[in-house]
Each structure stands twice: as C-alpha cells, then as structure tokens.
C-alpha cells in the first residue's frame, strides 16, 4: 500500500479510540464532585448532558465517528492523498497555493430567500469556534510538526497546513454534525458541543503526537520551512472579484484579515528598490499628455511639493522612474483582480494616468500609506467592488457617476483631496442605495422574517426575566430547565397571539411564581388539588405554544414527578444561576495554524485593523455603523466567510449578508450579529485592505 494511503488508513483507525477517550473524559469531568466544567449558563443542563453521554454513548460515538471519517475522507481526496502515488510515479510537480480557495470561479448569486439565523445556531457557531481555538492553542507545536510532515509526505514545495487530514476545524465540524444528528434539542446542542469540545481539545495533543511519531517512524521527511511564500507565475489569473480575492488573500487563512496596508506597502517598496530601474535626481519629466507644470515646485492636493524635500515616515522616496513603473504594475494587478468589464477597465486606465502624474510629482507617497492619494484610491476600489453585485442598469448608473468623479481629477492639476473624499463618500452612498434596492426582499418575506425576529427577541426577553427571578428565588435544576425552556416558548406564543401586555401573558407569568413556591421545600409533596391546578395551567399553556403532543405529555409527566417530590436545591445558588459571559475570540488573538508557520507573517491583531490605533468599537457601535456594501468576515456554518452586507431592515433590526459560499444569503437580527461580534466572530474588512491584497499579490506573482 502506498505510504500516503497507509497514513490515511492509520488516521481513520484512530477515530474510534479518539472518540471513546473523548466521551469518557467528558463523563468523568461532569461527574466530578467539583463539576468545574460549566455547561450552558450553569448546572441546569449537566444532568441532561451526562444522561445522554451515558445512555446514548455508543450512538453518539458512532454518529460523530461517521461524520469525522466522512470529513477526513473528503479532505484527504481534496488534498491528494489518493492520487499521491500515481503522481509521484509520473514525476508530477505539485504546485499548490496554500491560500487558494478550492473553488475560485465566480458563482451566480441566487435571489435571496430569507431564513433567519436563530440564537441556538449562533450559540453553536460560538462553541464550534471555541473548539477550534482550544485545539489550536493546546496543540500548536504538534500541529506545526504534523503540517511539515504531511507536506513532505505529499511532496509539497512549501509547508501547506491544509493537508493535515485531522485538522482542528475538521474535528469541530464533525462534533457539530454528530451532535446535530443525535439530538433535536436545540438548547442542548451547544452544551454538548462545549463539554465534548473541551474533552477533544485535551485529547488531540496525544493524537497529533502519535501521528507525528508514525510518519517519522516510516521515514517521512518534513518539507523545509521557507521564509517567504512560494512565488506564483507571472500572468497568474487566480480568483477574481473582491470577495474571492479576500478569501484567497495571504493573511486570511481563518478568521484573520488581510495584512495591514502599511506592511504590504513596505514589502512592495522593498521589492521595487531591488528590481526597478534607478533614475537620476532632478526635476520630474512628465508625460506628453500631462499638464505643464513648474519643474521647481508643483501643487498637488493643494500642498506645495519640492523635489527631494526630506523623508516621509523615515524612508527615502523611491526614484521617480521606479515610482512610475511601480504604479503601472499596481494598476495592472488591480485590473487583473477586478476582472473588469471593458467600461470598468477603461475607467481604471483613466485613473492610472492620474496616478502616474501623482507618482512622478510625489514619489514619497510610497513611504506614506496614509497619503491622501491612497485614501482616494481606497474609496474608488471599494465603490468599484460593489459593481458586481448590482443589476446591469444600476451598474451603468454607478459607472457614469464614477466617470464624472474621475473627470474632475483629470481636469484639475492640483487635486483637491478633501473635495475628492467628500465626492467619494457621496458615490459610496449612491452605490449602497442601489445595492440595497436591488437586494430588498419582497414585503411578504420581510414580514415573515420580522415575525421570526420578533419571536427571537421575545424569547430572549422572557428567558432573561426568568433567570433574573431565579437569582433571587432559586429552585431546582430540573425546574429551571422547564421554566427557561418550554414555559418560555409558552410565554412567547401568548405574547405573539395576544400581545406582550395581555392578561394571558400576565397569567402565564404568575405560573412561574406558583411553580417556584410550590417546590420551595425539597421533598415536601405538593397537595393533590394544587398539583391538579398547576398541571392544568401548564397543559393549556403548552398547547397554546403549539408544541408537539408527545413533548407535551413528556413535559407534564416530568412536572408531575417534580410536584410529587420536589428535588433539592443546589448548594451554591448564586454561582449556579449566574449567566456565564461569552469568552471573546480571539483570546487574546486569533491563533491559526497558518499564522504559526514561517511561510507567512505572524499577525497578532485584535479588532478590525492592525493599522488603527483607535479603540475597538463596541458591538452596538459597530452594527450602527454598518451600511449596505460593507465587506465583513463572519463565522457561520462552522467556517469563516467573506460576506457583503446587501440589505438592512427598518431600524437596523435585520441584516442580510451575501456570501460566495454557494450564493447563500444569511439573515441575522441586530442582537445575533452583536453576539457574534462580542465573541470575536464578526469583523469588518476595511477599504484599504483591498489595496493591500493587490500589493501582496503583485509581490508574490513577480518576485524572483
């Protein structure tokens, strides 16, 4: 058997032992007297999680194992383990871009079909990300070694972390899928994910170490680490479109954003100094079609510029010839990435002529990433990037407006930076309106999803009120599960049918007090008459909530048992009923396997941009600033996605994002989006990062 296939077989055989040890570790932790492992908001679901892990252990291990083997097999085929022996015999050169997206072709964006992402799904996303972070942070050294060995096994020219068959994201996604299959309880899934995620995070260190030892024992030599990424081919077509470019950009392996523009510019200028022609000092020689200017002094952006006038940011300005050539190469890369239509290509060509004038007059701009010209260019790129998502007629409207803006810059030798930026802001607002109008869903879909959103908000409000009451008047864990689960659904249903201030909602709220008082004395049986009244009220309420009949019967049976013999209260009520805050990701930064390799810069950043010295905005401030057209990175469906905000509902209560992952639309309420943001799983992509991608790509595709 070829060695790559033997290794994949070894990985597959290790799954059963991994899951058995994981479940056993989780059971032991939950069963410990201290119960240090917090599940959900306290101990309320510990009994349910522990019962499922014990009674359905074989089923759980089987379902998670099947999901994990399926992920490994699919990933192994994509990575080339099955074809490795054939390609080695043929002497095939494996040229793999570590950052490329498997599907870079443009996909048609389907008309939006709104489905609201629920709070339970957001909780699942947070727990999935938590598992990945736990495994990566606990197994960093082993993962780096394993990535080098797997790359060597497949004869990769550079270390490619994506060829590790049992990656942290693979483990997290398989756990998520297996738990989804084993239970339909949406509230229980995040709790299961948390406890099993902690257990598998503890276990993976041994698994990775065993795989490293197996590969070394079979004579596999790791791929040598390189200081820089392998150069691409000149003329490489690569992914097209702004969203695909962001997904395939260096520095975007997981949740991280592209590298800061200042860092990209420094690398680009360093490369330009090495390969670009020098030019003698002296006045600039402008092209024949450029306006005549005084060679001694020029006025650019309304500021007098003298040649050789000092340094900017401590750097010597690029020679004028090198600056002119570099600007031409940068715009060539921008046109390539944009995959523009003839009209857009012509517009970029006109902008390039203006840029060449700026570069020749002021070569020092290459050492100042905050130069007004770069701000103008960033705005232009961001506005042009929205063109692909517009309807054809709206594209023409936007192109005409952009053409008028460029014409103003062409006609005025001293470019007015402030006026140019103000005009760019107006153009961006126009593009946002066009995009929002094109993406606005039909009124009936908006009404339906708004009702779902209102239901989510009502559920969160009622659950919060009950939890607040339980902090001062605690009850048993099983009673808490009923009150914050089925009875919250009853309150929500009544509020939607009769209104939140109706007498029916008030009567159902009093049932909470009655149940707490009735079970206030553990072990003291509730009278038959009181049990009858309480069970009748609960049965009527659950029916109003339209719960399935089998579930109503099960809930009533459990409640009857509680009333016959109220269970004991927890020993430490304040700790038990206290809500657990969301641990932000990254903690303290996004730890990604790619970032741990010497093939890319190690970017330890937190927030929306490493360049900015501004404090990180709160989640409410961040969502308030979002406008249609904004590019964002969101962690959804168990993976990082580059998305564009297409539509914002009235009062910013709903947000609809579009991603290139199958042309999917993702609708979130303001609260759900803020919850993702607070967990570090939602962030903005600044306009300047589109420029940074072009600079990085230019260096990669041309350096020797």
- Tell me what pLDDT residue 477 has: 78
- Tell me what pLDDT residue 146 has: 93
With 50 as the cut, is the pLDDT of residue 482 above it?
Answer: yes
Confidence of residue 571 (pLDDT cuts 50, 70, 90): low
Average pLDDT over residues 68-77: 85
- Tell me what pLDDT residue 533 has: 93
With 90 as the cut, is the pLDDT of residue 238 above it?
Answer: no
- Tell me what pLDDT residue 320 has: 81
- Contact in structure between 621 and 597 (CB atoms under 8 Å): no
Strand ordering across the sheet containing 682-684 = 665-669, 654-659, 639-648, 631-636, 682-684
What is the spatial distance between Cα 691 and Cα 221, in angstroms, rounded to a whole number? 38
Where does residue 28 rank: exposed (0-12), middle (13-18), buried (19+ CB within 10 A)? exposed
Per-residue pLDDT of 671-691, as tens digits, reads 899 999 998 899 888 888 888
What is the spatial distance between Cα 606 and Cα 225, in angstroms, rounded to a whole number? 27
- Tell me what pLDDT residue 214 has: 94
- Contact in structure between 512 and 466 (CB atoms under 8 Å): yes
Per-residue pLDDT of 511-536, as tens digits, reads 999 999 999 888 888 899 999 999 99
> Which has more pLDDT, 343 or 326?
326
Determine what percent of the chain is predicted with pLDDT higher than 70.
Answer: 74
Confidence of residue 114 (pLDDT cuts 50, 70, 90): low
Average pLDDT over residues 472-495: 87
Confidence of residue 23 (pLDDT cuts 50, 70, 90): very high
- Tell me what pLDDT residue 287 has: 41
What is the spatial distance between Cα 368 and Cα 372, in angstroms, rounded to a whole number? 9
> Which has more pLDDT, 34 or 216?
216
Per-residue pLDDT of 591-614, as tens digits, reads 333 333 333 222 323 334 434 444
What is the spatial distance between Cα 390 and Cα 431, in angstroms, rounded to a whole number? 9
- Tell me what pLDDT residue 447 has: 83
> Which has more pLDDT, 406 or 226?
406
Confidence of residue 290 (pLDDT cuts 50, 70, 90): very low
Residue 190 CB coordination number (10 Å): 26
- Tell me what pLDDT residue 661 has: 61
Confidence of residue 226 (pLDDT cuts 50, 70, 90): low
What is the spatial distance between Cα 534 and Cα 530, in angstroms, rounded to a whole number? 6
658 bridge partner residues: 644, 665
With 80 as the cut, is the pLDDT of residue 417 above it?
Answer: no
- Tell me what pLDDT residue 356 has: 87
| Region of poorest pLDDT, from 166-175, 236-245, 276-285, 541-550 | 276-285
With 50 as the cut, is the pLDDT of residue 191 above it?
Answer: yes
- Tell me what pLDDT residue 406 has: 86
The angle at the Cα of 219, spanning 218 to 224, to the nearest 5 degrees, equals 135
With 60 as the cut, is the pLDDT of residue 169 above it?
Answer: yes
> Which has more pLDDT, 304 or 256?
256
What would you report as the CA-atom Rg of the chain, rounded to the nearest whole angstrom?
30
Q: Where are the alpha helices (DSSP H) in 32-98?
A: 46-55, 57-79, 84-90
42 bridge partner residues: 39
The backbone torsions φ and ψ at residue 219, rounded to the nearest 5 degrees and listed phi first, read: 80, 15
Confidence of residue 315 (pLDDT cuts 50, 70, 90): low
- Tell me what pLDDT residue 623 has: 92
- Tell me what pLDDT residue 663 has: 58
CA distance readout (Å), 125 to 65, 120, 632, 681: 20, 9, 16, 9
3-state helix, strand, coil in the chain (%, to 5): 60, 5, 35
- Tell me what pLDDT residue 569 has: 78
- Tell me what pLDDT residue 556 has: 92
For CA atoms 193, 591, 202, 173, the dihedral sign is: positive
Residue 338 CB coordination number (10 Å): 22
| Region of poorest pLDDT, from 188-197, 309-318, 442-451 | 309-318
- Contact in structure between 121 and 190 (CB atoms under 8 Å): no
| Region of poorest pLDDT, from 288-302, 361-375, 666-680 | 288-302
Helix (H) or strand (E) holding 644: strand 639-648
With 60 as the cut, is the pLDDT of residue 303 above it?
Answer: no
What is the spatial distance between Cα 470 and Cα 457, in angstroms, rounded to a whole number? 20
Average pLDDT over residues 151-160: 87
Average pLDDT over residues 391-420: 82
| Region of poorest pLDDT, from 8-12, 30-34, 267-271, 533-537 | 30-34
With 50 as the cut, is the pLDDT of residue 311 above it?
Answer: no
> Which has more pLDDT, 483 or 310?
483
- Tell me what pLDDT residue 475 has: 84
**pLDDT mean across residues, the chain:** 76
415: region left, alpha or beta (phi > 0 left; psi from -120 to 50 alpha): beta
The angle at the Cα of 200, spanning 199 to 206, to the nearest 5 degrees, equals 110
- Contact in structure between 484 and 587 (CB atoms under 8 Å): no
| Region of poorest pLDDT, from 440-444, 453-457, 699-703 | 699-703
What predicted TM-score, i.e. pTM, was given to this entire model? 0.74
Q: Where are the alpha helices (DSSP H) in 386-442?
A: 392-411, 417-439
What is the spatial distance between Cα 683 and Cα 590, in angstroms, rounded to a whole number? 12
300 bridge partner residues: 303
Per-residue pLDDT of 91-108, as tens digits, reads 333 322 222 233 333 333
- Tell me what pLDDT residue 213 has: 95
> Which has more pLDDT, 93 or 300?
300
With 90 as the cut, is the pLDDT of residue 421 above it?
Answer: no
Kindly report the three-state secondary structure assignment for every residue of 604-660: CCCCCCCCCCCCCCCHHHHHHHCCCCCEEEEEECCEEEEEEEEEECHHHCEEEEEEC
- Tell me what pLDDT residue 622 has: 93
155: region left, alpha or beta (phi > 0 left; psi from -120 to 50 alpha): left
Determine what percent of the chain is predicted with pLDDT higher than 90.
Answer: 19
| Region of poorest pLDDT, from 243-257, 276-290, 345-359, 497-511 | 276-290
**Best-predicted range by mean pLDDT among 100-104, 345-349, 504-508, 683-687?**
504-508
């Amino acid at each position: 058997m070829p060695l790559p296939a033997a290794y994949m077989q070894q990985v597959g055989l290790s799954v059963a032992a991994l899951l058995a040890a994981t479940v056993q570790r989780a059971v032991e932790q939950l069963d410990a007297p201290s119960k240090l492992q917090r599940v959900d908001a306290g101990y309320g679901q510990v009994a349910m999680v522990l019962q499922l892990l014990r009674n359905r252990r074989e089923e759980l291990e089987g379902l998670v194992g099947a999901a994990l083997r399926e992920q490994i097999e699919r990933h192994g085929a994509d990575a080339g383990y099955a074809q490795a022996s054939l390609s080695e015999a043929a002497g095939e050169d494996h040229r793999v871009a570590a950052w490329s997206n498997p599907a870079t072709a443009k996909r048609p964006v389907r008309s939006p079909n709104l489905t609201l992402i629920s709070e339970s799904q957001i909780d699942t996303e947070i727990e999935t990300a938590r598992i990945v972070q736990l495994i990566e942070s606990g197994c960093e050294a082993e993962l780096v070694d394993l990535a080098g060995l797997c790359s060597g096994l497949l004869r990769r020219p550079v270390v490619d972390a994506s060829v590790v068959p049992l990656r942290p994201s693979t483990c997290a996604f398989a756990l998520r899928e297996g738990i989804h299959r084993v239970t339909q309880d949406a509230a229980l899934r995040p709790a299961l994910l948390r406890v099993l995620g902690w257990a598998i995070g503890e276990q993976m260190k041994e698994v990775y170490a065993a795989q490293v030892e197996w590969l070394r024992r079979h004579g596999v030599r790791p791929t040598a680490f390189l200081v820089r990424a392998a150069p691409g081919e000149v003329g490489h077509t690569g992914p097209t479109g702004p969203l695909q470019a962001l997904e395939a950009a260096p520095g975007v392996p997981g949740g991280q954003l592209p590298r800061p523009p200042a860092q990209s510019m420094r690398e680009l200028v360093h490369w330009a100094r090495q390969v670009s022609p020098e030019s003698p000092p002296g006045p600039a020689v402008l092209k024949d079609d450029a306006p005549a200017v005084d060679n001694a002094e020029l006025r650019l952006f309304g500021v007098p510029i003298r040649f050789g006038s000092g340094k900017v940011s401590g750097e010597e300005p690029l020679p004028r010839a090198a600056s002119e050539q570099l600007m031409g190469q940068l715009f060539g890369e921008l046109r390539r990435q944009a995959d523009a239509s003839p009209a857009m290509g012509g517009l970029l060509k006109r902008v390039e002529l203006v840029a060449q004038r700026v570069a020749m007059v002021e070569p020092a701009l290459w050492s100042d990433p905050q130069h007004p010209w770069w701000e103008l260019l960033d705005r232009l790129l961001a506005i042009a990037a929205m063109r692909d998502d517009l309807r054809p007629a709206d594209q023409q409207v936007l192109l005409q407006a952009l053409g008028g803006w460029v014409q103003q810059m062409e006609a005025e030798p001293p470019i007015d930076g402030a006026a140019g930026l103000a005009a760019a802001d107006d153009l961006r607002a126009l593009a946002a309106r066009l995009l929002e109008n094109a993406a606005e869903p039909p009124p009936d879909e908006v009404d339906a999803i708004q009702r779902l959103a209102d239901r989510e908000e009502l559920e969160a409000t009622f659950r919060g009120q009950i939890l607040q009451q339980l902090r001062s008047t605690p009850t048993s864990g099983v009673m808490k599960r009923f009150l914050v689960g089925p009875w919250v659904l009853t309150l929500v249903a009544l509020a939607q049918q009769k209104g939140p201030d109706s007498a029916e909602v008030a009567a159902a709220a009093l049932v909470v007090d009655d149940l707490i008082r009735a079970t206030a004395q553990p072990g003291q049986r509730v009278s038959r008459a009181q049990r009858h009244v309480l069970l009748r009220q609960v049965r009527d309420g659950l029916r109003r909530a339209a719960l399935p009949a089998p579930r109503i019967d099960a809930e009533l049976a459990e409640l009857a048992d509680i009333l016959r013999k109220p269970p004991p209260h927890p020993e430490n009520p304040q700790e038990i009923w206290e809500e657990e805050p969301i641990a932000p990701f990254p903690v303290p930064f996004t730890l990604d396997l790619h970032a741990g390799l010497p093939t890319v810069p190690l970017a330890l950043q937190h927030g929306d941009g490493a360049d900015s010295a501004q404090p990180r905005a709160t989640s409410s401030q961040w969502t308030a600033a979002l406008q249609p057209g904004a590019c964002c990175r969101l962690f959804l469906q168990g993976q990082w996605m580059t998305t564009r905000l297409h539509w914002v509902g009235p009062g910013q209560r709903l947000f609809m994002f579009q991603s290139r992952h199958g042309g999917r639309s993702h609708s979130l309420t303001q609260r759900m989006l803020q919850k993702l943001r607070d967990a570090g799983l939602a962030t903005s992509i600044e306009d300047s990062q589109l420029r940074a991608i072009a600079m990085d790509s230019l260096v990669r595709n041309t350096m020797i």
